[in-house]
Amino acid sequence: MDVLWWVGAALLFIVVEVVSVNLVLVMFAGGALAAALANALGAPVGVQFVTFAVVSGLLLFALRPWLLRRLRGRMPLVETNAAAQVGRVATVVADVGPAGGRIKLTGEVWSARTARDGLAFPVGAEVRVVRLDGATAIVDGSVPPMHLAPPAEPGFPEHKENA
């Protein structure tokens, strides 16, 4: 095998890693670069593949967990899609109880049920989504009132007068 083949494979792994950001394919890229070095040193093809596998495995199991901890420590994990709905406030549109019901959550109607037996929420009640069970929102408790500042009068910017 040629050194360029291994370098090309490493570049391909890196390009695909940029899209996925799972820190898996970049470890394979490291293994491919190690195999390219083995090729440049004159190692036979079998040794190159073993080098690729061993270095990739070491990077996956030794370096990747450390990198993930550092990355998550620097950037908070932002939930997306359905997981982002947990913790949001919803309005009951069809009575919700342990057997089911419907809520309006971020403009969409979801099937819902209560988190605990014995709870029930009437139409119009505000509830909080505590978790998701497939496509069903699990809700609990009424939402405490939020303490908001009174809105400013429209058209009048707020300013302090000099005394």
Measure the CA angle with vertex 53, ends 72 and 40; round to 5°.
110
Q: In angstroms, rounded to a whole number, what is the distance separating the alpha carbons of residues 163 and 159? A: 12
- Residues of the chain with pLDDT > 70: what percent? 80
Write down the domain spans for the chain.
3-74, 82-142
| Rounded average pLDDT over 120-130 | 88
CATH code of the domain occupying 82-142: 2.40.50.140
* Residue 8 tokens, joined: 């090309």
| Rounded average pLDDT over 21-39 | 91
The pLDDT tens digits of the residues spanning 34-69 come to: 999 999 999 999 999 999 999 999 999 999 888 888
> How sure is the predictor about 151, in pLDDT bands with cuts at 50, 70 and 90?
very low
Measure the CA angle with vertex 100, ends 98 and 102; round to 5°.
135
pTM above 0.85, yes or no: no
SS3 104: strand
Contact 67, 75 (CB under 8 A): no
